[in-house]
Amino acid sequence: MKTTVGTHKLPGYGSTLRTSRRLTEQAVKLVSRSVSGRMPDVEVVLTNERGMAELMVAADIALVGAADRRALKRATQESKRIARGAQARAIPRLDGSTLILINADKHPTPADFAVTLVHELVHAMQFSRKGVLERIVRDTRDGLGIERQSRRQAREHEQLVELDENEAHSREYLAEKLVPGARAAA
């Protein structure tokens, strides 16, 4: 399990990057002990809204394979929409690793960052479970108009996403161990 932390189009955030590296190292250990599954290689990227949208498009296209112009346009529009409201997003990769994008502008304190980081690391653990990557690829291909999935598959995916979100929210208390008072900041 290899963990890297970096920035994308975010100059002048050196102290934030150092704090992020320290918190990520500790959070990976906490989450891997608390959640079932296997912690994959994780790449955490601190960026802004525009950078998030850019990296989400690249990650989604890499996840689904070759895509035509129409799928690329859909991916760009969807990524911009998601990036406007998202604090962070975890995206699985075909090699089994996970990309975690974090909007640094929406995390003014280490406590805010710790809560979001723990939440996204739980998702990274979930991606390692049997059948999850295939389900996400199928749903992403459907969302980009590449390959349709059945209504039953779409419903099942939505239900499982909700269960995964509930599990991630239930583990956010672990951020308290990283930064005292982090739960109150959430």
Handedness of CA 21, 23, 28, 29 (dihedral sign): positive
Q: pLDDT-based confidence at 141, cuts 50/70/90?
A: very high
Give residue-wise pLDDT tens across range 71-82. Answer: 999 999 999 999
- Whole-model pTM? 0.94
Q: Are 165 and 180 in contact (CB under 8 A)?
A: no
**Domain count within the chain:** 1
CB 126 within 8 A of CB 37: yes
User: What is the distance between the alpha carbons of residues 166 and 185, in angstroms, rounded to a whole number?
Assistant: 19
Domain hosting 57: range is: 3-185
Determine the distance from the C-alpha atom of residue 37 to the mean position of all C-alpha atoms in its chain, rounded to a whole number: 16
pLDDT score recorded for residue 186: 43
Q: Which helix (H) or strand (E) holds 100?
A: strand 98-103
Percent of the chain with pLDDT over 90: 90
Task: Look at residue 20 and tell me whether its pLDDT is greater than 50.
Answer: yes
| Helices 14-34 and 110-127, packing angle to 10 deg | 50
**Cα angle 127-165-168, degrees, rounded to a multiple of 5:** 75
* First-residue to last-residue Cα distance in the chain: 28
Residues 22-75: tens digit of each pLDDT = 999 999 999 999 999 999 999 999 999 999 999 999 999 999 987 789 999 999
Residue 149 has pLDDT above 80, yes or no: yes
